[in-house]
Amino acid sequence: MVSVTVTAKQLEVTRIVDVLSRAIAQQRLRPGTRLVEAQIVDTLQANRNHVQVALQRLAMQHIVTIETNRGAIVSQPTAQEARDVFGARRAIERAVVEAITPEALAANAQVIAEQMDAERQASASGDRRETVRVRSEFHLMLADLCGNRLLREILGNLIVRSSLIVSLYQRLDTPSCRCDDHQAILDALQSGSSESAIHAMLHHLVDLEGQLDLHEQSAPEVNLREALADL
């Protein structure tokens, strides 16, 4: 068996990637925001080289764009990229739902109940950022339940990219992911009908895409230090 040693540098780069990804997924960092290395170093108490590697990793995931003479910015998906991302999500999340077993649901009943309770609380609070965060976690929870680590990894990337798309293209200033839709997906899974659960998930994702105005949009200025605070 090959032993894999995770170095301190790898752990630190992963930390920076995770913080920036969460800030983007929670719409603290909006599309087009310039990611000034010095500010990230200062805010996250990080090594500049580690920050550069983290930004390069995010660029490979199409979450960040590195431009000559300008540096790194949060990616600004085109309307066609938005369609492609949602098309990919339909394929991946169909596979996720298909792979969830009754045993996985039973073993994670408490996790599921806590997720749905968190969604209801977030909705009642009126905190858009928290609602976006919690409802995105529903999709990642299902990916965890399906037991396929690669599907989980791919979906994690697509969720962050979806947040960029919503930041640019969502028509209404309301969280696009609805708790009732999530409950319908769970109800279908718990009834043992994989086909119904797939139908509910695909309907949900088509509805999300339908709430977008897929024309090119500009992004407002964002304070980087404030966006990364407390992550």
Question: How far is Cα 132 from Cα 39, in angstroms, rounded to an integer?
Answer: 25
Helix axes 37-44, 48-60, angle to 10 degrees: 110
Closest to 113 (Cα-Cα) out of 183, 14, 33, 215 = 183
* pLDDT value of position 218: 56
Q: Tell me how many degrees the CA angle 137-141-147 measures, rounded to the nearest 5.
A: 150
Q: Which fold has domain 79-210?
A: Four Helix Bundle (Hemerythrin (Met), subunit A) (1.20.120)
Beta bridge partners of 35: 72
pTM above 0.85, yes or no: no
d(CA 56, CA 65): 9
Q: How far is CA 225 from CA 26, 37, 54, 75, 159, in A?
A: 15, 11, 17, 18, 23
Give CA–CA dist 41/106, Å, rounded: 44
Residues 146, 159: Cα–Cα separation, whole Å: 17
**Cα–Cα distance for residue pair 170/188, rounded to 1 Å:** 28
What does the pLDDT read at residue 4?
47
CATH fold for the domain made of 8-75+216-228 = Arc Repressor Mutant, subunit A (1.10.10)
Per-residue pLDDT of the chain (231 residues; tens, 9 = 90+): 444 456 888 999 999 999 999 899 888 898 999 999 999 999 999 999 999 999 999 999 999 999 888 899 999 999 999 999 999 999 999 999 999 999 999 999 999 999 999 999 988 888 877 888 898 999 999 999 999 999 999 999 999 999 899 888 887 655 556 668 999 999 999 999 999 999 999 999 999 999 898 875 555 566 777 777 777
Closest CA to 211 of 82, 118, 93: 82
Domain ranges for the chain, please list them: 8-75+216-228, 79-210
What whole-number distance in Å separates Cα of residue 186 and Cα of residue 189?
A: 5
- Entry field: residues in the chain: 231
- pLDDT for position 173: 56
Tokens of 49: 């080289």
pLDDT of residue 2: 43
How many whole angstroms separate alpha carbon 198 and alpha carbon 53?
A: 38
Neighbours of 185 (CB within 10 A): 24
- Please report the pLDDT score of residue 133 as a whole number: 85
**Cα torsion angle, 121, 126, 127, 132, sign:** positive
**Rg (the chain; Cα; Å):** 18
